[in-house]
Amino acid sequence: MSSKAVVVRKTVTILDKIRKYYLKGEENVTLTEKQDEIRIRVYKAWNLMINYHSKEQAMAVIMNEYGCSRAQSYRYLTYAMSVFGNPIENHKEAEKYLISEDLIKSQQRSIKNKDEAAYLKAMGLRIKLGSYDKDKTQSFDPEKLKAQTYVLKVHPSVLASIEANKDGGVINFNNLDTEDVDFQEVKEDEDEEE
């Protein structure tokens, strides 16, 4: 049996460094000259998008200003949305929040004025805005919770390890010398026909 552990080390990307730069501040994170150049381009892409440029328009400006390819300018836009968020979705959420606040104030006024029709209208609009009238329940599949039986064919050395611990000991299957193999799912009906 092999007891070698696989150590996975995540490489820190330029995007990770830029994100860290904005989270921790420029005094805590040092960027190389190239990383700072990319950070400025990502920030430029973000500025274009929050100033109501479409993705296509922002890409064209970045391509013209920095002389980069279409693919690279798209990458800068993607980085910008990854670091700062999607401005279109942010605008929608902000507008939705402001409208909801106005509807709450309208409901409060209608309660104060004892205007039940206005109250119900504001309530209906809030329900529609929050999509509370839509069915959001996820379909539940009880088959996924059903007990499963798996038949495994194991190497004799692995079987010996399992049998040595069958008295209730803990077996760490991560340290066993195993390999992934293709499998075929066998239905109970197919099994009975044979």
Residues 122-157 have pLDDT tens digits of 888 888 887 776 766 666 677 777 777 777 777 777
Q: What is the mean pLDDT of residues 27-41?
A: 91
DSSP state of 146: S
**Is residue 140 within 8 Å of 134, Cβ to Cβ?**
no
For the record, the structure tokens of 153 come out as: 């064919």
Instruction: Quote the CA–CA distance of 192 and 194 in Å, as a whole number.
Output: 6
pLDDT tens for 64-88 read 999 999 999 999 999 999 898 888 7
**Is residue 77 within 8 Å of 55, Cβ to Cβ?**
yes
**Is residue 1 within 8 Å of 177, Cβ to Cβ?**
yes
Answer positive or negative: Cα dihedral of 150, 151, 155, 159: positive
Q: What percent of the chain lies above the pLDDT cut of 70? A: 78
Instruction: Quote the CA–CA distance of 104 and 68 in Å, as a whole number.
Output: 49
**Is residue 56 within 8 Å of 42, Cβ to Cβ?**
no
* pLDDT of 176 higher than 60: yes
Instruction: Quote the CA–CA distance of 118 and 130 in Å, as a whole number.
Output: 18
Query: 């039940």: which residue's tokens?
Result: 116
Short-list 126, 124, 133, 120, CA closest to 102: 126
The residue among 31 and 160 whose pLDDT is bigger is: 31
**Is residue 139 within 8 Å of 109, Cβ to Cβ?**
no
Query: 């996924």: which residue's tokens?
Result: 144
- Report the predicted TM-score, pTM, of the whole model to 2 decimal places: 0.49
**Is residue 87 within 8 Å of 19, Cβ to Cβ?**
no
- In the structure, what pLDDT confidence band is assigned to residue 193 with cuts at 50, 70 and 90? very low
Q: How far is CA 162 from the centre of its chain?
A: 38
Instruction: Quote the CA–CA distance of 70 and 80 in Å, as a whole number.
Output: 15
